[in-house]
Each structure stands twice: as C-alpha cells, then as structure tokens.
Amino acid sequence: RLPVDAAWLAAMAGSLSLLCDTTARETGVGDARYLVVEAGTGRIIVRRLLVHGTNLAVVLLTDKSVLLGMAWSRIGQVEQAMNAE
C-alpha cells in the first residue's frame, strides 16, 4: 500500500460518505451507513458514526485477508469508545 496523506483521505472519505447518504436518501432507501470499496488487494471501508450528536466518517483500510465482520466489529468498538468519552 502507498503512503496516504491523512487530511486528503479524511476529505475524500467525508465527501464519499455524504454522496452515498444523499443518494440513498433521495432514492428512498434511507440513510447510508457503510461504503465498501473492494479493490484488487484490499478494501476501503467508510462508516458514518454519530458521536455526541455530530456525524463523523471513519475510514478503515484493510487487505483482503480481513473478514468484513471483523471490520464491522472494530468500527463498532471505535464508535462505543468515542461516545463514552
């Protein structure tokens, strides 16, 4: 994997999250919660979280060996920890 600028990745993830949520809402399927980009050697997972009333986008980069269930679990742990603060 190549090095990635954190600010750039955050901006891209936030934009993708908003685009997906808007598309989901305008098509009547509700709010989008996850976006998964399945690439050749890994995944980019973006999940919208509500932390103390503020919408955040969390990005998780994985390789293909990581099971999606494990990724969902880890993101859930992050959400719980952030809401506990």
Q: What is the pLDDT of residues 43-63, one digit of tens each?
A: 999 998 888 988 888 899 999
CA distances from residue 56 to 2, 8, 40 in whole angstroms, order as listed:
24, 15, 27
Q: What percent of the chain has pLDDT over 90?
A: 53
Strands 34-38 and 54-63, by their bridges, are unpaired
Q: What value does the mean pLDDT take over residues 10-35?
A: 90
- Kindly tell me the number of DSSP H helices and DSSP E strands found in the chain: 2, 3
Cβ burial of 40 (10 Å; 0-12, 13-18, 19+) is: exposed
Give this prediction's pTM.
0.81
